[in-house]
Structures are given as C-alpha cells and as structure tokens.
Amino acid sequence: MNVPNRVKHFTWKACRNILATKENLWRRKVTQEGLCKECGNTTELATHLFWFCKQALVVWSHSKLVLPFTISQSWEFIEVMGQLLKWRDAYQDLMERVMMICLGIWRNRNEAKHGGKRKTGEAVMKCSCYLLEEFQTANEVRSKQEAQPQEVVRWTALKQGQYKVNYDAAVFTRSREVGFVVIIHDDAGSVVATLSKKRIGLTGVVEATAKAMEVAVQFVKDVGIREAAFEGDSLIVSKAAKGMGDVHSLIQNIVCGIIQDLQTVFIYLVDSI
C-alpha cells in the first residue's frame, strides 16, 4: 500500500475503532456526551465523522472520486475499507486516496477542536491529494533508482607472481593523528609483509586515505615488489590515482606523487572496494 506510514497507522486505529471520536470518549466516560459537535444531534461515530458529517460532506463535494458502492450509516470504518479492498484492482489508488482524505478530515477536525483555524473543504481535499501524489512520486523515483542495474564487482584471482596490497587509514580527531596499515599478500593468499605507523597533522578522511596509499606504494617499493594490485576503501583516491575524474584539492599533491611512483617504478593495478 503506497501511502505514508502515518496514514497506515491512522487507518489501523480507525479500523480498530480506537480513534478519539466523541462516541468513543463518551463510552469510556471521558466526556459527558458523544454527539457530533457539527451536527448537534448525531452520535460522532467514525463512519459519520468521515462521510456523513456536514464538514465531511463539504470536503467530499470537492472530490472527483466515485465509489463503486454506497456507504451505509450503520457501517463501521473497517467495513468501508473492506469494500475498498474488494474494488482495489478495478479502481487504482482509490483506497489510498480515501485513506488520505479521511486523515485530512481528522486532522482538520482536531485542529479546529483545539482552537486552530479550520481549513475549507477544498483546502483539505487539495492538501490530502497533493501529499499523496508527492509521496507516491518520491517512492516511484526511488524504486526506479533501486531497479537500475548495479555495477557488479567480482573477485579476481591474482596472477602468478602478482601481489595484493590492502591499505587503510584511521583518523583520531582529538589527537590530530592518523594511523596507517598496509598488508601485502602473495598470489596464494599468504601474508608477505605488514606495516603500521602513525602520523600527526592529518584530519580529513580523504586526505588520510590518499596518504595511506602513498605509504603503501613506498612500502611496496621498499619490499622490492615489482607488480601489485592495490585495494583501498576510497573510490575518490582510487580514481585519482588512475587519472580518472577530478582530483580532490586535499589530495592533489599526494596523488601526483603516487602517480609518478606508480608510472616510473613498477607495473600496477589499482582497485577500490
């Protein structure tokens, strides 16, 4: 059901007959009587409040909705919803629109009851329909985005003699320190070498990750490895090192140095998880 959660919750309460209508309050001995304030001589049941009260009739008079059945004053709210459910396939969005308009009537009634300004029937109808359309449009866009095919990233085994270099950085804001860690695996998955170190002065995550890659490149050079695949958790840094996209101002100098090392010292692959 493509309606906001608050509408679902309101409808559930109405179907359970636990809304704070005058009749419910009178039955629980909260008020002295349960008559509708607008009509004066009719019990304020949920069905009356939403379809037969003077204020409700004014709201529905501005609606172009046509119900495929006739609501009886003796029905309960849940019976109306049951009929709407039966006709749901034939009348698209009818149930959702009725639910939304009923909530609009309920909120308008409560605002007026507590001293607020009562909206006109036309305003209640327009506001209810607009909020529903806005919600459904937003969800339709999100559904289309989620339905778009996502790029599939598959694990690829290393070639013989090739090495995998994982690097990462952790930023400690209070001490203005950054910790770097580098792990090198061979093509069999065995750990060949590891490195961990700290540096003071870096606070940005992107800058720290770029520096971690620079540390990893230098470490690989020191170990003497000639061919390696680098893997970090920043797509920005990975693309920058490949010469793709705009280079972030914080990492421009770092990345330029990495690119020079990668191009002049050894063959490389750069990936990002």
Q: pLDDT tens across 51-85, in order? A: 999 999 999 999 888 899 999 999 999 999 999 99
| Structure tokens belonging to residue 224 | 């003497």
Say how many CA atoms lie within 13 Å of 202 toward its Cβ.
Answer: 20
- Residue 260: CB atoms within 10 A of its CB come to 11
Length of the chain: 273
- DSSP class of residue 180? E
Q: Verify that 62 and 96 share a domain, yes or no.
A: yes
The confidence band for 127, taking pLDDT boundaries of 50, 70 and 90, is very high
Q: Verify that 43 and 103 share a domain, yes or no.
A: yes
Pairwise CA distance, residues 78 & 185, whole Å: 64
Asked whether residue 155 is assigned to any structural domain, the reply reads no
The confidence band for 210, taking pLDDT boundaries of 50, 70 and 90, is confident
Show the domain range for 73: 5-147
Whichever domain contains 259, its CATH number is 3.30.420.10
Work out the average pLDDT over 138-148: 69
Pairwise CA distance, residues 221 & 260, whole Å: 13
Q: Verify that 129 and 177 share a domain, yes or no.
A: no
